[in-house]
């Protein structure tokens, strides 16, 4: 079998392409994102896989621009992967934006994605996005209708009801409750293209497992960091917890003020003791209002349950870790970059380039590599048949 040439658009730090890079059946043609930290992270990762001509493969470009799209006229690929930015489709994003994200240009980046697919004459494409896209209505027209129309115009087939394309990644070895829409497109020139679509989805679903990986299984072996009795300042940087060089990269506690440390300890002890006084969203809303003095549309505090998969790891984690409090009351802190990466199923040798805030953002926006691995195996079956 000849190598399957693939392109990864809106690649982020490379979570989606991670499993494809490690699979001998695939060959990367282009891996593109417009973020500088994602670009450097992807470059660093491809170096580990020993690919040649890295600067021709990994590029930092804005593919919403027509001039960039036109550059794909002479590039051929068998498969195009990508997850157009999801902020405009996310329910949380719509709550925060006064226009409900209806005026956000990112609503229409899927059009750039499809233009490139058509130019490269790709046989298949996989587009990943948040379930919120199923209810998004920019310009009061459902985004699903826009996508169906654009896909048909480009000459590809996707399922008629995208609600049937939602997958929970916790069923694929990812220690996190994370649901995403997986849109598999088949070029209509391919024989029995509808049947190929059905085979893809049935194969992907049959690869799932009822057994979930828990938080403690994912991060329980990592070093503990305890709150300091007195805050430290080293080279102008403040530290609230014990800090020492660990064997695992990026496992460093972020700074927390005394108030938050006290709350983290109280909430994690409440869960550990099974008193569950603050288990309901209503109680957490009330607690936040009492402590901070203002309301929040989204409850701010959540302790990871050690014997369950994690809650969703979002890009918002770069702003604060209040919804990702470590289950250990003794540590009274939010999760580290490496813990977030493990909950997204990234291997420990995956290096995230950039400051801590950017690392959290990249991880939150990524497709978990464990799911990517199942996806890559499913696609090999499709190409073999």
pLDDT at 94: 39
pLDDT at 61: 95
245 and 201 within one domain? no
- In 10 A of CB 185, how many CB atoms? 25
167 and 37 within one domain? yes
3-class secondary-structure state, position 267: helix
247 and 143 within one domain? no
Q: Above 80 in pLDDT, residue 81?
A: yes
Q: Nearest Cα to 344, choosing from 382, 320, 370, 381?
A: 370
Residue 43 token pair: 């470059």
Residue 133 C-alpha from the chain's centroid: 15
Give the separation between CA 264 and CA 149, rounded to whole angstroms.
Answer: 48
Give the separation between CA 183 and CA 375, rounded to whole angstroms.
Answer: 12
Residue 117 lies in a domain: yes
Residue 361 lies in a domain: no
Tokens 């939010």 belong to 334
Find the helix or strand (DSSP H, E) in which 19 lies: helix 18-21
Do the bridges between strand 124-129 and strand 166-168 make them parallel or antiparallel, or are there none, so unpaired? unpaired
129 and 93 within one domain? yes
Give the separation between CA 333 and CA 110, rounded to whole angstroms.
Answer: 38
Work out the average pLDDT over 36-65.
Answer: 92
Confidence of residue 114 (pLDDT cuts 50, 70, 90): very high
Work out the average pLDDT over 115-125.
Answer: 96
Residues 273-324: tens digit of each pLDDT: 999 888 888 888 888 788 777 777 666 789 999 999 999 999 999 999 999 9
Q: Which is higher by pLDDT, 50 or 359? A: 359
Residue 310 lies in a domain: yes
3-class secondary-structure state, position 325: strand
CB-based contacts of 149, cutoff 8 Å, min separation 6 = none
Q: Above 90 in pLDDT, residue 171?
A: yes
Residue 347 lies in a domain: no
271 and 238 within one domain? yes
- The model's pTM: 0.92
pLDDT at 265: 96
Give the separation between CA 176 and CA 172, rounded to whole angstroms.
Answer: 10
Q: How far is CA 101 from CA 86, 89, 90, 96, 314, in A?
A: 11, 8, 9, 9, 18
Alpha-carbon torsion, ordered 311, 167, 307, 367, to 10 deg: -60
295 and 147 within one domain? no
254 and 189 within one domain? no
Q: How far is CA 40 from CA 33, 43, 47, 69, in A?
A: 10, 5, 11, 22
Residue 353 lies in a domain: no
Owning domain of residue 31: 4-211+368-384
Q: Indicate the number of domains in the chain.
A: 2
Residue 40 lies in a domain: yes
- In 10 A of CB 124, how many CB atoms? 25
156 and 40 within one domain? yes
Q: Above 70 in pLDDT, residue 93?
A: no
Q: How far is CA 27 from CA 34, 213, 385, in A?
A: 21, 30, 19
Give the separation between CA 108 and CA 153, rounded to whole angstroms.
Answer: 15
Q: Which is higher by pLDDT, 234 or 156? A: 156
Give the separation between CA 73 and CA 136, rounded to whole angstroms.
Answer: 31
156 and 295 within one domain? no
Query: How long, in residues, is the chain?
Result: 385
Question: With the C-alpha atoms ordered 342, 343, 345, 351, is the resulting torsion angle positive or negative?
Answer: negative
Tokens 């009801």 belong to 161
Give the separation between CA 174 and CA 188, rounded to whole angstroms.
Answer: 33
CATH number at residue 18: 3.40.50.150
Residue 85 lies in a domain: yes
3-class secondary-structure state, position 20: helix
DSSP assignment of 137-185, as one string?
-GGGS-HHHHHHHHHHHHTEE--S-GGGGEEEGGGGT-SB--EEEEEEE
157 forms beta bridges with 186
149 and 232 within one domain? no
Q: Nearest Cα to 80, choosing from 165, 169, 151?
A: 151
Residue 285 lies in a domain: yes
Q: What is the overall mean pLDDT for the chain? A: 90
Confidence of residue 89 (pLDDT cuts 50, 70, 90): low
168 and 24 within one domain? yes
51 and 175 within one domain? yes
């Amino acid at each position: 079998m000849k190598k399957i040439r693939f392109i990864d658009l809106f690649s982020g730090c490379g979570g989606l392409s991670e499993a494809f890079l490690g699979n001998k059946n695939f060959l990367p043609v282009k891996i593109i994102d417009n973020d500088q930290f994602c670009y450097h992270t992807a470059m660093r990762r491809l170096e580990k896989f020993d690919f040649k001509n890295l600067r021709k493969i990994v590029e930092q470009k804005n593919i919403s621009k027509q001039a960039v799209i036109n550059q794909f006229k002479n590039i051929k690929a068998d498969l195009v992967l990508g997850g157009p930015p999801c902020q405009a489709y996310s329910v949380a994003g719509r709550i925060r934006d006064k226009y409900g994200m209806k005026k956000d240009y990112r609503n229409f980046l899927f059009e750039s994605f499809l233009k490139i697919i058509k130019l490269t004459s790709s046989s298949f494409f996989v587009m990943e996005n948040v379930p919120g896209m199923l209810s998004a209505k920019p310009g009061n027209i459902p985004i699903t209708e826009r996508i169906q129309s654009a896909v048909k115009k480009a000459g590809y087939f996707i399922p008629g009801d995208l609600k049937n394309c939602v997958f929970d990644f916790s069923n694929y070895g990812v220690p996190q409750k994370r649901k995403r829409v997986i849109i598999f497109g088949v070029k209509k020139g391919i024989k029995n293209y509808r049947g190929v679509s059905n085979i893809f989805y049935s194969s992907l679903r049959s690869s799932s497992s009822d057994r979930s990986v828990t938080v403690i299984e994912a991060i329980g072996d990592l070093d503990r960091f305890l709150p300091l009795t007195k805050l430290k300042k080293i080279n102008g940087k403040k530290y609230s917890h014990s800090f020492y060089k660990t064997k695992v990269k990026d496992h460093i506690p972020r700074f927390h003020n005394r108030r938050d440390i006290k709350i983290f300890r109280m909430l994690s002890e409440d869960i550990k003791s099974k008193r569950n006084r603050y288990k309901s969203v209503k109680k957490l809303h009330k607690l936040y209002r009492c402590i901070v003095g203002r309301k929040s549309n989204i409850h701010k505090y959540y302790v990871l349950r050690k014997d369950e998969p994690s809650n969703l790891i979002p890009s918002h984690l770069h702003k604060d870790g209040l919804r990702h409090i470590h289950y250990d009351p003794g540590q009274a802190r939010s999760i580290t970059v490496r813990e977030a990466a493990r909950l997204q199923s990234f291997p420990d040798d995956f290096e995230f380039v950039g400051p801590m805030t950017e690392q959290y953002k990249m991880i939150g926006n990524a497709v978990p590599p464990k799911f990517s691995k199942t996806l890559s195996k499913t696609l090999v079956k499709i190409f073999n048949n």
